[in-house]
Each structure stands twice: as structure tokens, then as C-alpha cells.
Structure 1
Amino acid sequence: MKRREARERALQALFQMELNEMTTDQAIQNVMDEEQDDYVETLVTGVAEHKSELDQTIETHLDNWQLSRLNKVDLSILRVSAFEMLFLEDVPDRVSLNESIEIAKIYSDEKASKFINGVLANIAQND
């Protein structure tokens, strides 16, 4: 599975976890076919384990906005990318940022992609 698809599946799993009470394993299983993907597991598990730290970092870089006001899709996209930027050294910040913008265009809207770009650019510059 390509990393873009893995990021999309991770987004879907995290979104499900945000709406329903389920474990990371259940959420991963819900979005995967028969195959398993280590990168999906890395992203979902990593975001779940570092959720409070990721949320704090994201909130610090929101201009005149609060985390609680973000829609769950955009928040999940931000968490995945922030996790990659802060915890995965093999993923360049620019790649994570660009992937998040493209995924936002698919799962959210044009305004969201610009907003996500601004937040992640601030994280990349300051962390």
C-alpha cells in the first residue's frame, strides 16, 4: 500500500475513533481489507498514544481558533501530519504537509486545505 493510501486509511480510523468508542485495533480493522499495513498501524497507534501532546502542539499554532471548533476530519488530518512531523524522522515535513493538503481536498474542502497548510507550516517552522 502506498503511503498516501495509508494516510487516508489512518485518517478514516482516527475519525471513527473520534466519533465512536473503539480501540485502535478495532478502528484499524474497520478500515483495512484483508491486508494489514504497518504504516497505517504506526500512524493510528502513534496518534492515539501522543494525542494530548499533538493537540497541544496544534492548538498552539491555531491563529484565533480553538481546537474544539475544528471539524473532526480536519482535526484528524492535522493529527496525522503533526505526528509524522514530530515523531517520524523518515518523513520530511514538506512531504507530510503536502500530503495533508491533498487529503484535505478529498475529504474536506478548499478552505480546509488552506487552513491545514497554514497550521502545519507554523508547526514545521517552530517545532
Structure 2
Amino acid sequence: MAVTRHQIREYAFQTLFALNTNKQTNKENFYQALTDGKYGEDYPKYLDELVSGVVDHLDELDKIIEKYLRSGWSIDRIAKTDLIILQIALYEMLYVDDLPAKVSINEAIELAKKYSDDRSRKFVNGILSHALEELVK
């Protein structure tokens, strides 16, 4: 059975969250654990694209997020789960050509539903909707 992009986003979220809390380890260890070794060394290409893409563009993604925060808020105030969800969605919106931005937003909301709460879902949707408006211009 092929892995879906939805599952890959979830693996990417879990990997980025783990890397955020444990800087000593490498992403391949998380891929192996999260996928129960199903893929051996051949992890889904999109998983590595998302994780590496977010890591490589972290400063840029965080600046975009900061632009849409309420006055007085900083990136440090955002729950790590929400921040990582935003980073993944923004990476997709900016760098994944064959994917409509609205799909990234919907997927981010689904991740927020699963890993956060109602307020987070609305927060994630608000930030990404504002970013989409600017990207469409």
C-alpha cells in the first residue's frame, strides 16, 4: 500500500517536532521509527523534501509567520506544534509546484485538529489565509 501525502505530512510533522526537541539526532532515525522500517532506507521522497525544505528555509518561513502575528506577539509565543504545522504548510505553498495552496492549508488544519486544539486550528487557518492572500498578489 502506497503512503499518502497526508501520511507523509504527518511523518514530517512528527520528525520536525522530534528534531526540534532533540537536536542531537538525525532525521533518518525518526523516519525509520515513524514508518516502522517499512521503507528500509528508501523513505518516501516527499517526506525528506518536506523535512529538509523546512529545515533549510526555517528563517524565511518564520519571518513570514511573524509578519502575520498580532502586535506584541513573537514567534516564541507560538506553541511548537502550531509553529511546525505552519512551517510545513508555508513550505508547501512556496516551494511545491504541483500542489494548490488551499490543499496545504486544509492539510495544516487537519494536523492542527489532530495535534492541537480548536483555537490552534483557527490560528493556523488565519496565518495561512493571510499568507495566501499575499502570495496570490
TM-score range, shorter chain: over 0.9
Offset from partner CA, 1:70-122 (integer Å, 9 cap, x none): 11111110000000001111111100001100110000011100000000001
Give unmatched runs, 5+ long, in structure 2.
none
Name the larger-Rg structure. 2
The CA distance in 2 between the partners of 1:5 and 1:31, in whole Å, is 10
The CA distance in 1 between the partners of 2:94 and 2:30, in whole Å, is 23
The farther-off stretch of 26-35 and 13-22 is 26-35
Alignment of 1:64-103 (within 5 A): 64=71, 65-103=73-111
Tell me the percent identity: 39
Corresponding position: 1:62 with 2:64: no
Q: Which residue number in structure 2 is paired with residue 18 of structure 1?
A: 20
Identify which of 108, 114, 125 aligns with 1:106: 114
Identify which of 4, 7, 14 aligns with 2:6: 4
Q: Which residue number in structure 2 is paired with residue 45 of structure 1?
A: 52
The CA distance in 1 between the partners of 2:90 and 2:126, in whole Å, is 12
Deviation for aligned residue 1:27? 3.4
Deviation for aligned residue 1:54? 0.7
Q: State the TM-score, normalized to the length of structure 1.
A: 0.94
In the TM superposition, structure 1's runs of 4+ consecutive aligned residues that sit over 4 Å from their partners are: none
Offset from partner CA, 1:11-32 (integer Å, 9 cap, x none): 0000011111133333333422
Query: Which residue identity does 2:35 align to in structure 1?
Result: M
Contact 1:57 1:123 (C-alpha < 8 Å) held by counterparts: yes
> What's the C-alpha RMSD, in Å, of the aligned pairs?
1.2
The CA distance in 2 between the partners of 1:73 and 1:26, in whole Å, is 20
Query: Which residue identity does 1:94 align to in structure 2?
Result: K
The CA distance in 1 between the partners of 2:35 and 2:75, in whole Å, is 28
Q: Which residue number in structure 1 is paired with residue 36 of structure 2?
A: 33
The CA distance in 2 between the partners of 1:86 and 1:44, in whole Å, is 14
The answer to which structure has the higher helix fraction is 1
